[in-house]
Amino acid sequence: MAEASRLIFPQNGAHSLLADWQDRFADSSGVLKSPRHSLTIVPVLDFEVGGEEFITMAGPCSVETEFQLMATANHVRRAGARILRGGAFKPRSSPYAFQGLGLKGLKLLAHARQECDLAIITEVMSECDVPLVAEYADILQIGTRNMENYALLEAAASSGRPILLKRGMMATIADLLRSAQCILDAGNPHIMLCERGIRTFETAMRNTFDIAAIALLKRISHLPVIADPSHAAGHRDLVPVLARTAVAAAADGLLVEVHPCPERAWSDGDQSLDFSGFEDMMADLEPWLRLREQTLYRLQNRAFEPRPMEAVG
């Protein structure tokens, strides 16, 4: 058997990487698992992302009004979310669509944070806005359209806040890992990867949910992986089942859109769950969280036995 065809890091089976993957993602080696670094745990307030606890981030696509945000924050908190999502700066497909409340939205998020004991994740779209957004957010979200905006990645990294990096809608896994490496190189190790669906020839859904990307990222990268079933599906009826598959694939958390009245949402209403839909989704996750534990156990206990590359399908 040729040496190159063996799993590398044979001294530590739990963190082995196939040589093929090691080569393919060689320019992002800092975010790949290694014997010295197999797990990144991102501290957020008094909890962690990437540890044992499964973390749900939920809330509206856009911050609209105080009532909308506070009602949603209270509800998602009661249903088990730890982090409130909500866009104050919105990258919209149309330049004529609602672009977000800006600073007013950030202030509403800060109010919800204080009242509901939730951490805040919100998108930052421009490097100029990083200091302002970082003042209010516990996690900075880099959107799909900005995954390769390196000036923004560097500015966001320099803020010191944890970063949720969404996969570009036309980005490969290698592209995603390269952008994560840029954030790491800019001095910020607190990175979460987010699979939110990619563009394919399929148009029945808004995007194609790449569940295999979640499975692969959990094998090759030490960074936490968050699934966004809302933007992947584009339709609320599909969100719970996509969430369940992501949990079974051992995602570390979810990013889900929830709105008190999705029909009236200013953005992404079709894919937003209402309160009872969110509650049902969370309750239905229970058995899948047990499957997640099994998947994590397998990942940590030599899921991949050393074997020749030819035997790998």
Residues that bind ligand PEP (CB under 6 A): 61, 87, 91, 143-144, 166, 196, 231
Q: How far is the CB of 206 from ligand PEP (least distance, A)?
A: 9
- Taking CB within 5 to 8 Å according to partner kind, which of ligand PEP, Mn ion, none is near residue 252? none
| DSSP H/E element including 83 | strand 83-85
- Taking CB within 5 to 8 Å according to partner kind, which of ligand PEP, Mn ion, none is near residue 166? ligand PEP
Q: Interaction with Mn ion in 52-111: which residues (CB under 5 A)?
A: 61
- Taking CB within 5 to 8 Å according to partner kind, which of Mn ion, ligand PEP, none is near residue 55? none
The CB density around residue 275, as the number of other CB atoms within 10 Å, is 19
- Measured from the CB atom, the residue of 221 and 271 that comes closer to ligand PEP is 271
- What is the DSSP code (8-state) at residue 143? P
- Which class for 13: exposed (0-12), middle (13-18), buried (19 or more C-beta within 10 A)? middle
Alpha-carbon dihedral sign for residues 246, 248, 249, 253:
positive
Q: How far is the CB of 286 from ligand PEP (least distance, A)?
A: 26
- Measured from the CB atom, the residue of 61 and 214 that comes closer to ligand PEP is 61
- Which class for 38: exposed (0-12), middle (13-18), buried (19 or more C-beta within 10 A)? middle
- How far apart are the C-alpha atoms of 17 and 21, rounded to whole Å? 7
Q: CA Rg, the chain, in Å?
A: 19
- Measured from the CB atom, the residue of 82 and 166 that comes closer to ligand PEP is 166
Q: How far is the CB of 156 from Mn ion (least distance, A)?
A: 19
- Measured from the CB atom, the residue of 77 and 166 that comes closer to ligand PEP is 166
Are the CB atoms for 109 and 136 separated by under 8 Å? yes
- Measured from the CB atom, the residue of 196 and 292 that comes closer to ligand PEP is 196
Q: How far is the CB of 313 from Mn ion (least distance, A)?
A: 36
- Taking CB within 5 to 8 Å according to partner kind, which of ligand PEP, Mn ion, none is near residue 144? ligand PEP
Q: How far is the CB of 91 from ligand PEP (least distance, A)?
A: 6
Encoding tokens for residue 154? Answer: 């560097």
Are the CB atoms for 218 and 250 separated by under 8 Å? yes
Measured at CB, which residue is nearest to ligand PEP? Answer: 143
268 is an interface residue for Mn ion by CB under 5 A: yes
Cα 56 to Cα 85, 269, 283: the distances in Å are 10, 19, 12
> Which residues contact Mn ion by CB under 5 A?
61, 268
